[in-house]
């Protein structure tokens, strides 16, 4: 069980940094607490007494969102539920609503934040690979001599392995900025040990843009998690598919490509099979949502994977 003596809810970044400085070494940052609370359960960390919890989820800056045709800025406290509720976000980030709908349950989705998902750095985190597919950067802030200093890092570099990130001592993740990809078809494929409240064993985010005729792949973004210690962008597969005419044969070739990247410590054969199936299903679904010409995909392949 998690026990704290004080639960602070700073109303600004300045207040948060002041609390972090005052309680250095005896405090912990939380947002939705949906990773922190289960971490402190019996069998994992056990009974944990953290004297001061600093809840950053009510800081207005961390709740700001800006969406235009090219870029999206998401405050770190943006909830996973937002991707289901906000049509502008759903349009700019077409795989995110599909990620959100399979994320935990109604209650957790409202609490869970993108900042917590990223900083927790679980190989099973679902929002992180989706955001990596959008070329996301994280914005990190700290108090330096009374002024707020900010820096940026690519999200793909920020997540360094299970529970390891580039977050420095005294820093907060304030925002995520990424490409807006309206007009892309999005899909998110995920599998785990059970059907509901499932934590991913493997998940894949796919974003596809086709030409006006629905034949040629003009652009695509692929990011996968659960096959190794950190999420990966499938750059080689992207390069292989970009500019090609959509066909069942092409997608089958692409689906075989990520197999050598499977480096998880357990169930490698199973994961390789899953990755192949997800590549086919993800590409077919995303292509269909991007307006694919039905003649470009064979009915057999669609029936098996779409």
Ligand X SMILES: Cc1cc2nc3c(=O)[nH]c(=O)nc-3n(C[C@H](O)[C@H](O)[C@H](O)COP(=O)(O)OP(=O)(O)OC[C@H]3O[C@@H](n4cnc5c(N)ncnc54)[C@H](O)[C@@H]3O)c2cc1C
Nearest distance in Å: CB 263, ligand X: 20
CA distance 226 to 220: 20
Site for ligand X in 105-124 (CB under 6 A): 108, 111-113, 115-117, 119-120
Bridge partners of 209, per DSSP, are 219
Nearest distance in Å: CB 88, ligand X: 21
Closest to ligand X by CB, 30 or 133: 30
> What is the per-residue DSSP string for 119-146?
HHT-TT-SHHHHHHHTT-EEEEEEEETT
Site for ligand X in 202-261 (CB under 6 A): none
Nearest distance in Å: CB 192, ligand X: 8
Among 22, 24, 38, 213, binds ligand X (CB under 6 A): 38
175 binding ligand X? (CB under 6 A): no
36 binding ligand X? (CB under 6 A): yes
The upper half-sphere exposure of residue 16, i.e. CA atoms within 13 Å in the direction of its Cβ, equals 26
Among 8, 20, 31, 159, binds ligand X (CB under 6 A): 31
CA distance 288 to 178: 24
Nearest distance in Å: CB 77, ligand X: 7
As a dihedral over the C-alpha atoms of residue 25, residue 27, residue 30, residue 34, rounded to 10 degrees, the angle is 100
Nearest distance in Å: CB 199, ligand X: 6
Q: Residues 49-68 vs ligand X: string with x where CB under 6 A?
A: -------x------------
Nearest distance in Å: CB 120, ligand X: 4
Burial classification of residue 68, based on how many CB atoms lie within 10 Å of its CB (0-12 exposed, 13-18 middle, 19 or more buried): exposed
As a dihedral over the C-alpha atoms of residue 123, residue 125, residue 130, residue 132, rounded to 10 degrees, the angle is -50
Among 8, 82, 126, 292, binds ligand X (CB under 6 A): 126
290 binding ligand X? (CB under 6 A): no
CA distances from 206 to 55, 70, 227, 286 (A): 33, 18, 16, 6
Q: Where does this chain bind ligand X (CB under 6 A)?
A: 28-36, 38, 56, 76, 103-104, 108, 111-113, 115-117, 119-120, 125-127, 167, 172-173, 197, 199
């Amino acid at each position: 069980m998690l026990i704290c003596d004080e639960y602070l809810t700073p109303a600004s970044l300045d207040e948060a940094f002041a609390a972090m400085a005052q309680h250095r070494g005896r405090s912990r940052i939380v947002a939705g607490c949906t990773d922190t609370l289960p971490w402190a359960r019996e069998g994992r960390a056990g009974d944990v007494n953290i004297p001061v919890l600093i809840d950053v989820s009510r800081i207005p800056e961390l709740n700001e969102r800006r969406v235009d045709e090219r870029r999206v800025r998401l405050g770190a406290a943006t909830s996973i539920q937002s991707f289901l509720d906000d049509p502008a976000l759903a349009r700019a980030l077409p795989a995110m609503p599909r990620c959100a709908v399979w994320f935990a349950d109604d209650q957790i989705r409202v609490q869970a934040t993108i900042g917590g998902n990223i900083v927790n750095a679980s190989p099973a985190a679902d929002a992180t690979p989706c955001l990596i597919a959008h070329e996301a950067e994280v914005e990190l802030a700290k108090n330096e001599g009374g002024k707020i200093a900010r820096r940026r890092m690519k999200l793909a570099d920020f997540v360094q392995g299970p529970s390891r990130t580039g977050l420095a001592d005294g820093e907060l993740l304030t925002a995520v900025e990424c490409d807006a990809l309206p007009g892309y078809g999005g899909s998110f494929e995920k599998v785990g040990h059970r059907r509901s409240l499932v934590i991913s064993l493997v998940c894949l985010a796919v974003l596809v843009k086709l030409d006006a005729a629905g034949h040629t792949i003009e652009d695509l973004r692929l990011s996968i998690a659960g096959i190794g210690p950190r999420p990966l962008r499938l750059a080689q597969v992207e390069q292989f598919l970009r500019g090609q005419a959509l066909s069942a044969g092409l997608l089958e070739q692409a689906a075989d490509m990520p197999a050598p990247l499977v480096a998880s410590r357990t169930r490698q054969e199973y994961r390789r099979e899953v990755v192949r199936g997800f590549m086919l299903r993800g590409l077919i679904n995303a292509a269909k949502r991007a307006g694919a010409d039905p003649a470009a995909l064979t009915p057999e392949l669609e029936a098996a994977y779409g």
